[in-house]
Amino acid sequence: MFTADGISVSYGPIRAVRDVSIDVSEGEIVTLLGPNGAGKSSLISALIGLVPKAGGQTSFRGEDVTGLSTEALVRRGMTVTPEGRKVFADLTVAENLRLGAATRKDHDGIAEDTEKYLEMFPILRERFHSAAKYMSGGEQQMLAISRSLMSRPKLLMLDEPSLGLAPRIVDQIFEFLVKLREWGLTILVVEQNAGDVLEFADRAFVLASGALQFAGTAKELRETGDVMEMYLGLEAH
């Protein structure tokens, strides 16, 4: 469904991502792992057109999308939930969800999707008309993900959705990702929380110092002791 071939990202003299290739097949949860500063956020940001690529090509559903803007990519069915739960703090839950659907005109479909996510996260219904800033971190993350989904993406990319959240909330977010896969969505998720995400992801890529160190199934990664220990601080099992 999606391939990124030889992607590089530079910030002036800093080469944050060096010639990295990844791919995501329809219906998979693929995780992008690696230590702090490995280049994960830079890679995701480049894939969705938020930072320029210093090299490389991307294709989505058979079409070369290398030079497209973020908006054009969203219209084609890609979206990202950025790190740090970037909801519009002063806007209500309703307004945040509405903005997520800004590229759509099908009012019935928008209403249907809104109902779907309010059903999934009842707290969003309770807080529907209050400002997002009054919600907890976990609740804001649920809103941030729901808002991304309001564009009805085919490929959802998430940058560290579990960051700073209590274990119970992380479980809830991860269960939601599994549910989204059951609904047919394709997911690329950046995570620090490698141990948990490898329990349900289909495949994994490990990035360190801007370069790809591992590509394989989640099971293969769990069994690869040196990569697990060196880059993820975990024991193989």
| Interface with ligand ATP (CB under 6 A), residue from 31, 41, 58, 162 | 41
* Contact indicator for 48, 69 with CB cutoff of 8 Å: no
Q: Check residue 36 for interaction with ligand ATP (CB under 6 A).
A: yes
Closer residue to ligand ATP in complex, CB, 85/127? 85
Q: Check residue 80 for interaction with ligand ATP (CB under 6 A).
A: no
- Residue span 14-33 as binding mask against ligand ATP, x where in contact by CB under 6 A, dash where not: x-x-----------------
Q: Quick one: which of 186, 196, 135, 188 has its CA closest to 163? A: 196
Distance, CA of 128 to CA of 125 (rounded, Å): 5
| Interface with ligand ATP (CB under 6 A), residue from 38, 93, 124, 165 | 38
Of 35-43, 137-145, 194-202, 223-231, the window that binds ligand ATP (rule: CB under 6 A) is 35-43
As measured in angstroms, the least distance from the Cβ of 40 to ligand ATP is: 3
| Interface with ligand ATP (CB under 6 A), residue from 6, 25, 26, 37 | 37
As measured in angstroms, the least distance from the Cβ of 198 to ligand ATP is: 16
What is the three-class DSSP state of 77? coil
Closer residue to ligand ATP in complex, CB, 113/191? 191
* Contact indicator for 154, 77 with CB cutoff of 8 Å: yes
Give the containing element (helix H, strand E) for 55. Answer: strand 55-60
* Contact indicator for 71, 102 with CB cutoff of 8 Å: no
Q: How many residues bind ligand ATP (CB under 6 A)?
A: 11
Residue 120 phi/psi, 5° resolution? Answer: -70, -40
Q: Check residue 42 for interaction with ligand ATP (CB under 6 A).
A: yes
Token couple for 169: 């909330």
Amino acid at 94: A
Distance, CA of 230 to CA of 227 (rounded, Å): 5
Chain residues in the site for ligand ATP (CB under 6 A): 11, 14, 16, 34, 36-42
